Amino acid sequence: MDFQVVILAGGFSSYLVPLVAKEVPKALLPVANRPVLSYVLDLLESSNLKDLIVVVEGEDAALKVGGWISSACVDRLHVEVAAVAENVGTAGALRAIAHHLTAKDILIVSGDIVSDIPPGAVAATHRRHDAAVTVMLCAQPVSGPSESGGSGGKDKTKKPACDDIIGLDSLKQFLLYIAKGTEIKKDTRVKKSILCAAGKMEIRSDLMDSHIYAFKRAVLQEVLDQKPAFRSLKQDVLPYLVRTQLRSDVFSDQSNVEENGNGNGKNNMQNNEVVLSQILSNASMPSFHQVYESGLGTRKTHKCCVYIADESKYFVRLNSIQAFMDVNRDVIGESNHLSGYSFSAHHNIVHPSAELGSKTTVGPHCMLGEGSQVGDKCSVKRSVIGRHCRIGSNVKIVNSVVMDHATIGDGCSIQGSVICSNAQLQERVTLRDCQVEAGYVVCAGSEHKGETFARK
Amino acid sequence: MDTRRGALAVPKVRRVGFFTSIEPPPESSLQRPNRSQSGPVDATTSSSPLSDSPSGNLISPVLIPPSRHHSDNLTSRVAAAAAAPVPVPGPAAFRRYLTPERTLLHVGSYNPPDSLLGTSSPSSNGGLSEDSASLFGFQRSDSTKLSASLPNGGFDLTLAVRAPQESETKIATTSASQGKKKIAEVSGKSESATTKPQKEKEPKALKDKTTKAERRAIQEAQRAAKAAAKGEGSRRADESGRANPGKAAIKPQPKKERLPVTSSVSEKTAVAVEKEKRMDVPQTQMQYDDKSRVDKAKRRAVVEQTESKNKVELFLHLPQYERSNQLPNLSSNFFTLDSIHHAVYKVGLQHLAGDISGDNARCIAMLQAFQEAIEDYSTPPMKDLTMDLTAKINGYVSFLIECRPLSMSMGNAIRFLKNQIRKLPVNLSESEAKSSLCSDIGRFIDEKTIIADKAIVQHAVTKIRDGEVLLTYGFSCVVEMILLYAHEIGKKFRVVIVDSRPNLEGQKLLRRLVTRGLDCTYTHINAISYIMREATRVFLGASSIYSNGTLYARVGTSCIAMVANAFSVPVIVCCEAYKFHERVLLDSICSNELGKCFTRSSSCRLFIYLNQSFFACVKNLQAILTP
């Protein structure tokens, strides 16, 4: 279909400290005991997209990601891992790999999404409208534990209500305005020409930019070349394209070439072509772009389209610790079709090699990785426990994620926390809404609430 | 079927002559039961061997039905000739075409099997009828049909010319076989026939569901009459020999200017006709109440379609799918449909989403996508370009059909393209072949749409006089061009745009006309009877024109035409020649495209209600168009 797929897998995200570390770049964070990148790859593979470019920030991270990819799916996919310098931003990363891009359109997917929205939909919308850029929007996920989980809901700090402020035209096809909710303090400016041309603008704060974009390659490269200062796709490139959609600079070269080509043809032929294009354009409802273009003659426009995902689809970006918790909970809970595991009759997954002590209960929506040992009289609810963990007896784990090789002593109580790999909890530790860095040792008998344990 | 309609009809339409070379005589499988039912009557004819009934000896109307049965019997004898004694077979219906005044019976065949062709005797008269076929564009298929089903088909032609009433009786009996109420008519019309008593008797016998003995009596009587007529018949045969040239002189007169065109067309395409028949993929109509075929089609389907839950029973034979699901389904499969070229995919999406509507635009968009696909095509190793490319195009076409049913014009265009692929010389290199195909497509677009539209516009503008009020319905790009051009050359007129739900295409037209400074009135179809008072001329577009003159157009078109007729407003239909199709539909819900509220387009029978100006105009326009 003449599409190239670029996965922006990031590097060591600062938002996710202490979950990410030197050993675990963001793309390899385990979600239900699989790296989050595998969800993206699965999603793309299910859409028959097998030629992928994965862009990773930093050589180290790239090595790790590349290593994992080659071990996991070298047989199924053709993946190219490209390392770019750290802190160049998404736009910088694309600039760095620009010479790899050859197809007509480029699908850019963030490497940290867990979703079941088919990426083909955004590509199809892109093609249908012949747009310069198409953005997938989806409904804001409900953050915090679900209502049924309930226990720790009250003290969760809810995320700011709106991430993105998005302006759409009346048919919800075109993007007229986009800004980050946090950037807008009191007021904002909207292009008058766009507003006049479109007639109506619908401003939505319940939608979220999903970081899945389809770009026309020529447009993208043009913008990246023209504006070397642009660092981020979402914060620089996309708003720029949206802002300039009625006075497009990016198409100027191409259209000149086209006009020259037409001029050489015979007069009669050209006349026919005019009629032809008229027939074609008359057949469809003109978008406001076309109306505007015809009104002003020489101005070129480009279209910024949106694809609004169905609300029933699942979509979460793993860009915060809260999101990490949510994703883990959802993937083994409500949206368990994403995980790719088959669930037992009790709605949980207990690996056959896991050992359970007597009187230990593993509730629904739980996952126990291979080789893990759980002592007697334990209770595990709505939690993910990684591989080869050792958990003592009388331990209570609720709404938590315990990564591989963690050790938890007897009598611990863990709620809403993340225990990274190789961390150690000594006896009778009580944790609530805490994150424990990889390899950290929490002293016996301590009681913590809402803390982050990391080596300084 | 309906004699009343037939009587109203105007024969001139048939001269359009676009179809001269296309299909062999249609013969409906539906009709065969009728023929087989006519077994008892056949008994008389089967007693006289085929060789015994030369073309000349069957003149009197009495004798004609038996002879017909005779030939019919050849095909239907295998089928148990029993059951209800319906005396008149289907083919009689075709005879109506022969009478100049009654041309408009719907021949009632969807898929013409050619089984009957084999029975045509190669008599000189048969040849004659072939000649006349090429003379009268539209009648061709029917008269060949006659010659096929009747050894003396050619003779029947003359008969029809000489004695319209006689043929009328035949028609009437046809209808009698279908509906008993017509019998009164039959008896009335066969008044002048020489053998009226028997003729009368036959349908009556039919009516009463006579016993075997009674039927036998009838047969005996007929046999006697036949024997009596034999002598007379030979005499008339001579007459017919004289009558034929005379008729040829009378009939083709108005069509003389058409003759060269039709014949050249027929020569050109005659070779391809046979193949085309087999390759005519896009036009085969699937009956969606046929479970097994639907299942088969589903398995082949590229796009997953969910059937709508509450189907409308009246439309069971049409595809009823949930429209709302199609687009998301299709678009989420974007990357999985590797076999579809992305240009074709885009066009399919646009069709499905309604981004492109209007026949011309859809057809052009499709052809341009094919052009692009062909440019990107490369023959896989060990494969033949002709075969492989045809298969590819077939795949694209079935994909497009699933997006939205093809229009007739698209079907014709696809047929053209496949024909071009087939005719590619073997020694061409791949790049040459591709470029030749692309230029062929470009030429098709230019000639069939743009130049045709220009010709239509040039001609139609002459029909517009100053001070007129032109009414148009919905949106047709040709009509728009006409209006704009007429405005450009300074004609003073006013436009009434009539529109209807659900798509309200007229609004687009209105917007564009108003920006160009035309004086417009916009109304919905509910108000047609009020607004028609103002109109002095109606311009309509059409999706297709069928070979019986039926218009296939947006739903509501026939309503407009009827109202126009009631107000004696001339109606002009503008339709490019490439939209013509040889299909004939008996019913207006045969092959409709169902929209969201089951109102996309339906075939409507305009021909009955239109006045002369319509046909005159179409004829002229057509004359300009045919290359």
Higher pLDDT, B625 or A16: A16
Q: Residue B53: how many CA atoms within 13 Å on its side-chain side?
A: 28
Residue A127 and residue B349: Cβ atoms within 8 Å?
yes
pLDDT at residue B230 tops 50: yes
Integer Cα distance of A313 and B323 in angstroms = 20
- Is residue B524 included in any domain, yes or no? yes
- Whether residue B438 is found in the same domain as residue B332: yes
Give the domain-ending residue among B412, B447, B482. B447
pLDDT tens digits for range A58-90 = 888 888 888 888 888 777 788 888 888 887 888
- The mean pLDDT value of chain A amounts to 79
- Whether residue B472 is found in the same domain as residue B618: yes
Q: Which band of pLDDT confidence, cut at 50, 70 and 90, is reported for residue B414?
A: very high
pLDDT at residue B278 tops 70: no
Residue B559: both structure tokens together: 């309503």
- Is residue B94 included in any domain, yes or no? no
pLDDT at residue A275 tops 90: no
- Whether residue B499 is found in the same domain as residue B583: yes
For chains A and B, what is the number of CB pairs under 8 angstroms?
Answer: 96
Mean pLDDT of B533-562: 82
- Whether residue B389 is found in the same domain as residue B480: no
Residue A48 and residue B477: Cβ atoms within 8 Å?
no
Higher pLDDT, B82 or A422: A422
**pLDDT given for residue B151 in this prediction:** 39
Q: Which band of pLDDT confidence, cut at 50, 70 and 90, is reported for residue A255?
A: very low
Closest approach of chain A CAs to the CA of B422, in angstroms?
27
Residue A49 and residue B508: Cβ atoms within 8 Å?
no
Integer Cα distance of B135 and B246 in angstroms = 14
Q: Give the residue from chain B lying closest to A5, CA to CA.
A: B335
- Is residue B299 included in any domain, yes or no? yes
- Is residue B221 included in any domain, yes or no? no
Integer Cα distance of B472 and A112 in angstroms = 56
Q: Which band of pLDDT confidence, cut at 50, 70 and 90, is reported for residue B472?
A: very high
Lowest mean pLDDT across A438-442, B83-87, B184-188, B484-488: B184-188
pLDDT tens digits for range B567-591 = 888 888 888 888 888 877 776 666 6
Name the residue among A3, A125, A275 with its Cβ closest to that of B331.
Answer: A125
Residue A285 and residue B453: Cβ atoms within 8 Å?
no
Name the residue among A120, A130, A283 with its Cβ closest to that of B358.
Answer: A283
Give the domain-ending residue among B447, B473, B498. B447
pLDDT at residue A449 tops 70: yes
**pLDDT given for residue B521 in this prediction:** 92
Under 8 Å between Cβ of A328 and A32: yes
* CATH number reported for the structural domain that contains residue B613 in this entry: 3.40.50.10470
**pLDDT given for residue A28 in this prediction:** 84
pLDDT at residue A308 tops 80: yes
**pLDDT given for residue B349 in this prediction:** 84
Lowest mean pLDDT across A184-188, A263-267, B320-324: A263-267
Residue B446 and residue A272: Cβ atoms within 8 Å?
yes
- Whether residue B475 is found in the same domain as residue B618: yes
**pLDDT given for residue A293 in this prediction:** 64
Residue B476 is part of which domain span? 464-625
- The mean pLDDT value of chain B amounts to 62
Share of chain B above pLDDT 70, in %: 44
Structural domains of chain A sorted by starting position, each given as residue range(s) with its CATH number in brackets = 3-143+162-250+301-317 (3.90.550.10), 347-453 (2.160.10.10)
**pLDDT given for residue B578 in this prediction:** 87
How crowded is residue B267: how many other Cβ atoms within 10 Å of its Cβ? 12
Residue A279 and residue B449: Cβ atoms within 8 Å?
yes
**pLDDT given for residue A140 in this prediction:** 77
The closest alpha carbon to B459, from B573, B546, B564, belongs to B573
Residue A120 and residue B328: Cβ atoms within 8 Å?
no
Lowest mean pLDDT across B83-87, B186-190, B277-281, B564-568: B186-190
Mean pLDDT of B479-504: 88
pLDDT at residue B7 tops 80: no
Closest approach of chain A CAs to the CA of B292, in angstroms?
31
pLDDT at residue A112 tops 80: yes
Q: Which residues of A are less than 8 Å from B332 in CB distance?
A: 47, 118, 120-121, 124
Residue B271: both structure tokens together: 């070779």
- Whether residue B417 is found in the same domain as residue B523: no
Name the residue among B355, B508, B512 with its Cβ closest to that of A128.
Answer: B355
- Whether residue B395 is found in the same domain as residue B493: no
Mean pLDDT of A24-39: 84
Task: Please indicate, yes or no, whether the overall pTM of this predicted structure exceeds 0.90.
Answer: no
Residue A443: both structure tokens together: 């002293």
**pLDDT given for residue B522 in this prediction:** 94
- Whether residue B410 is found in the same domain as residue B317: yes
Find the distance separating the first CA and the last CA of chain A, reported in whole Å.
50
Give the domain-ending residue among B447, B480, B511. B447
The closest alpha carbon to A400, from A417, A385, A388, A413, belongs to A417
Q: Give the residue from chain B lying closest to A309, CA to CA.
A: B328
- Is residue B200 included in any domain, yes or no? no
Lowest mean pLDDT across B12-21, B108-117, B575-584, B600-609: B600-609
Share of chain B above pLDDT 90, in %: 6
The closest alpha carbon to B138, from B26, B27, B243, B246, belongs to B26
Integer Cα distance of A251 and A301 in angstroms = 8
Closest approach of chain B CAs to the CA of A296, in angstroms?
15
- Whether residue B425 is found in the same domain as residue B497: no
Higher pLDDT, B291 or B381: B381
pLDDT tens digits for range B258-275 = 333 334 444 444 444 544
Q: Which residues of A are less than 8 Å from B478 in CB distance?
A: none
Q: Which residues, 6+ apart, have CB-to-CB distance to B187 below 8 Å?
A: B200, B203
The closest alpha carbon to B462, from B577, B617, B625, belongs to B617
- Is residue B320 included in any domain, yes or no? yes
- Is residue B178 included in any domain, yes or no? no
pLDDT tens digits for range A156-184 = 444 445 577 888 888 888 888 888 877 77
Residue A128 and residue B450: Cβ atoms within 8 Å?
no
Higher pLDDT, A250 or B415: B415
Name the residue among A128, A272, A283 with its Cβ closest to that of B353.
Answer: A128
Residue B453 and residue A275: Cβ atoms within 8 Å?
yes
Q: Which residues, 6+ apart, have CB-to-CB distance to B604 below 8 Å?
A: B550, B551, B552, B553, B555, B557, B558, B559, B561, B588
Residue B334 and residue A123: Cβ atoms within 8 Å?
yes
Q: Which residues of A are less than 8 Å from B345 in CB distance?
A: 1, 124, 127
**pLDDT given for residue A286 in this prediction:** 64
Residues in B whose CB is inside 8 Å of some CB of A read 328, 330-338, 342, 345-346, 349-350, 353, 355-358, 360-362, 364-365, 445-446, 449-450, 453-454, 477, 480, 508, 512
- Is residue B22 included in any domain, yes or no? no
pLDDT at residue B333 tops 60: yes
Q: Which band of pLDDT confidence, cut at 50, 70 and 90, is reported for residue A93?
A: confident
Higher pLDDT, A210 or B246: A210
Higher pLDDT, A255 or B443: B443
Which backbone phi and psi does B308 adopt, to 5 degrees? -70, 150
Burial class (CB in 10 A: 0-12, 13-18, 19+), A352: exposed
- Whether residue B516 is found in the same domain as residue B543: yes
Mean pLDDT of B206-214: 56
Q: Give the residue from chain B lying closest to A130, CA to CA.
A: B346
**pLDDT given for residue B523 in this prediction:** 93
Q: Which band of pLDDT confidence, cut at 50, 70 and 90, is reported for residue B470?
A: very high
pLDDT tens digits for range B32-43 = 444 444 444 443
Mean pLDDT of B505-524: 88
- Whether residue B440 is found in the same domain as residue B349: yes
Integer Cα distance of B349 and B334 in angstroms = 10
Residue B328 and residue A282: Cβ atoms within 8 Å?
no
Question: How much is the ipTM here?
Answer: 0.77
Mean pLDDT of A312-326: 82
Under 8 Å between Cβ of A368 and A403: no
Structural domains of chain B, count: 2
Integer Cα distance of B199 and B466 in angstroms = 56
Closest approach of chain B CAs to the CA of A178, in angstroms?
24
Mean pLDDT of B78-92: 41
pLDDT tens digits for range B87-139 = 444 444 444 444 444 433 343 334 444 333 333 333 334 333 333 333 333 33
Name the residue among B328, B338, B358 with its Cβ closest to that of A48.
Answer: B338
Mean pLDDT of B499-528: 86
- Whether residue B364 is found in the same domain as residue B489: no
Lowest mean pLDDT across A414-428, B201-215, B295-309: B201-215
The closest alpha carbon to A12, from A25, A23, A31, A27, belongs to A25
